[in-house]
Amino acid sequence: MTVAESIFENLRLELRRGCLTLAVLAQLRQEHYGYTLRKALALRGLEIDESTLYPLLRRLETQGLLASEWREEDKRNKRFYRLSSDGERIFGELLKEWQAINASITSILNGTSILDSNDNGNS
Amino acid sequence: MELLDRYLQAVKKHLPWQRQDDILAELRANLESQLEDQEAEIGRPLTAAEVETWLKQIGPPIMVAARYQPQQYVIGPAIFPTYWYVLKLASFWALAIYGIVSAVLIFSAANPGISAVGAVVRAPFVLMNVAAWVTLTFAAFEFAINHSWIAWPASAVSPEGWSPSSLPPLEKAAASGKKPRTYAMAVAEIIFGFLFLGWLLLVPRHPVLMFGPGALYMQISPFQIEPVWYTFYWWIVGLNVLQLGWRCVDFSLGAWQGPRLVQQAVIKLLGLIPLGILIAAPSHLLIALKHPEADQARFGQTLDTINLGVHKGLMVVCAIKVLQLLWEIGQRSLEAYRRRIAATR
């Protein structure tokens, strides 16, 4: 891997890290267990390694953003996750933040002011 | 399935022990579901080779387990800058003190060569020792903070605890030797250089010019300086002539404004020679009795004490001068390196 490739890879991972959390929280508005969550995200174009997703679920649960319960399904015990009430509130705030960043980047790329866009939207 | 069991067993060994059964049960359920899905897709059980490829994709057990561990630091990012600063400072002072002590020991050793080699060989261990203690202290500090036994000072982490007015005052804009000299300054340096040289040359004939009323005591005292001081004196005169001549050449070439880094370094380096001459005086004899036959019994012991004291003092001065010179050379080299890097960007 060249230096440029290595720098790109590090930046890509940094960029992805926050987005993955947001995507997981968004998907867990519906209940899932680890594997079906991974499949659901992959179906929407977001592939996540097992070794990244499963520990992430644990971490989010420890932080109180997810609630989980063990339940039997297809003759196998599985741990199902969903957003907790705290998780819903924080997810809402993160989503707003992400949308604001997205709008700013779009505005920077288009060379327009975000205030102009807001004004046009209001009129 | 045996391979999956072996894989999970290997993962378990590296999981946090309080939660390992729970984590492992969840991981097993997820991986078994994934395996079933894959088998349903191809309509047959996976072969051992296929299972191996799949597990390889998931990653080595130790790496998978590590993701379940909380992020741990020996020294975390909050205190790392302080740690790094203290480490550099402690290493520098340890080396400086070690250098001075070693210089004294080398000069007083029966075999200075072997003593010097020993000092150089021991230096890395001194540094490692200092680094180990500093690291250990900060690691203990980090551990105590993580366990909430102590709190990191608010001023170090919160913007409210910090004030711009508490910043240290501005350092000198230009280090001495870098500031461009004016024409008047260059002329004054040469004139004072000649005056100083004239004064220095008059001292042997008129010691009162250097020692004041003390010159009278030298005449009546039972002590006299050894000839090695004359060698020392002529070296000092020679160095002053060299410095003055160099300045005159610079002046005649119109280069008085430029920095005199090389000149300063050469003079300082040569300045170590007269010190070395005094230190190397046979039997450390720097002062002697005018009439040894008559005064040896009365002043002999005092004389030995004075000679040994002056000898040790000179060694300390020499060691300090060497360290100063090394420090300056290091600083200048670092500055030159920084400028070169900046120029290439």
Per DSSP, the residues of B220-286 read HSSEEE-THHHHHHHHHHHHHHHHHHHHHHHHHTT--SS--HHHHHHHHHHHHHHHHHHHTSGGG--
Structural domain that includes position B288: 183-344
Chain B contacts in chain A segment 59-118 (CB below 8 A): 76-79
B23, B34, B67 member nearest A35 (Cβ): B34
> What is the total residue count of chain B?
345
> Residue A121 falls within a domain, yes or no?
no
Region B220-230 average pLDDT: 84
Return d(Cα B343, Cα B345) in angstroms, integer.
Answer: 6
Given a cut of 80, is residue A46 above it in pLDDT? yes
CB contacts of B68 in chain A (<8 Å) are 55, 58
Amino acid found at B124: P
* Contact yes or no for A56/A21 (Cβ under 8 A): yes
Is there a single domain that holds both residue B198 and residue B321?
yes
Percent of chain B with pLDDT over 70: 92
Q: How many domains does chain A have?
A: 1
A47 touches chain B (CB under 8 A): no
Helix (H, G, I), strand (E, B) or coil at B16: coil
Residue B146, pLDDT score: 80
Let me know how many helices (H) and strands (E) chain B has, helices first.
13, 2
* Contact yes or no for B321/B272 (Cβ under 8 A): yes
Is there a single domain that holds both residue B197 and residue B335?
yes
- Which of B66, B92, B116 delimits the end of a domain? B66
For B336, other C-beta atoms within 10 Å of its C-beta total 11
More reliable by pLDDT, B239 or B158: B239
CB contacts of B59 in chain A (<8 Å) are 49, 51
Mutate to test the interface with A, among B7, B23, B67, B71 (most CBs of A within 10 A): B67
* Burial status of residue A22 (CB atoms within 10 A of its CB: 0-12, 13-18, 19 or more): middle
State how far the alpha carbon of B275 is from the alpha carbons of B278, B287, B343, in Å. 5, 15, 40
Least confident of A113-117, B72-76, B234-238: A113-117
Strand-pair partners of B224: B288
Q: What is the largest CA-CA distance in chain A?
A: 58
Describe the crossing of helices A3-27 and A34-43 by its angle, rounded to 10 degrees: 110
- Give the model confidence (pLDDT) of B117-165 as tens digits: 888 898 899 999 999 999 999 999 888 888 777 776 655 556 666 677 7
Contact B32 A50 (CB under 8 A): no
> Residue A19 falls within a domain, yes or no?
yes
Given a cut of 70, is residue B177 above it in pLDDT? no
Is there a single domain that holds both residue B110 and residue B214?
no
More reliable by pLDDT, B261 or B46: B46
Check which CATH number belongs to the domain holding A96 and give it.
Answer: 1.10.10.10
Describe the crossing of helices B20-42 and A34-43 by its angle, rounded to 10 degrees: 50
Residue A33, pLDDT score: 94
* Contact yes or no for B147/B70 (Cβ under 8 A): no
> Residue A25 falls within a domain, yes or no?
yes
Structural domain that includes position A35: 3-115
Residue A116, pLDDT score: 63
- Which of B11, B44, B66 delimits the end of a domain? B66
For A9, other C-beta atoms within 10 Å of its C-beta total 11
Is there a single domain that holds both residue B268 and residue B327?
yes
Given a cut of 90, is residue A97 above it in pLDDT? yes
* Nearest CA among B308, B223, B240, B309 for reference residue B274: B240
Residue B164, pLDDT score: 79
Strand-pair partners of A72: A77
Return d(Cα B321, Cα B305) in angstroms, integer.
Answer: 24
Is there a single domain that holds both residue B54 and residue B149?
no
Q: Which residue has tokens 């060569």?
A: B113
For B281, other C-beta atoms within 10 Å of its C-beta total 19
Is there a single domain that holds both residue B230 and residue B306?
yes
Contact A77 B29 (CB under 8 A): yes
Contact B29 A35 (CB under 8 A): yes
Kindly state the helix (H) or strand (E) to which residue B309 belongs, with its residue range: helix B292-344
Region B295-320 average pLDDT: 84
> Residue A122 falls within a domain, yes or no?
no
Is there a single domain that holds both residue B61 and residue B92?
no
Given a cut of 70, is residue A122 above it in pLDDT? no
Mutate to test the interface with B, among A20, A33, A35 (most CBs of B within 10 A): A35
Contact B58 A50 (CB under 8 A): yes
Cα–Cα–Cα angle for B103, B107, B109, nearest 5°? 115
Is there a single domain that holds both residue B187 and residue B305?
yes
Residue B19 is encoded by which pair of tokens?
């939660």
Query: Mean pLDDT over all residues of chain B?
Result: 83
CB contacts of B58 in chain A (<8 Å) are 49-51
> Residue B75 falls within a domain, yes or no?
no
- Give the model confidence (pLDDT) of B3-25 as tens digits: 999 999 999 999 988 888 999 99
For B250, other C-beta atoms within 10 Å of its C-beta total 19
B23, B30, B37 member nearest A50 (Cβ): B30
State whether the Cα torsion B39-B45-B50-B54 is positive or negative: positive
> Residue B316 falls within a domain, yes or no?
yes
Residue B176, pLDDT score: 47
Contact B59 A51 (CB under 8 A): yes
Tell me which chain A residue has its CA closest to the CA of residue B62: A51
Is there a single domain that holds both residue B223 and residue B114?
no
- What's the pLDDT band for A123 if we cut at 50, 70, 90? very low
Kindly state the helix (H) or strand (E) to which residue B38 belongs, with its residue range: helix B20-42
Residues in B whose CB is inside 8 Å of some CB of A read 23, 25-27, 29-34, 37, 58-59, 63-64, 67-68
Strand-pair partners of A80: A33, A69
> Residue A33 falls within a domain, yes or no?
yes
CA B151 centroid distance within chain: 31
> What is the total residue count of chain A?
123
Return d(Cα B273, Cα B50) in angstroms, integer.
Answer: 77
Least confident of A26-30, B69-73, B131-135, B211-215: B211-215
Residue B237 is encoded by which pair of tokens?
């005169």
Is there a single domain that holds both residue B98 and residue B236?
no
> Residue B177 falls within a domain, yes or no?
no
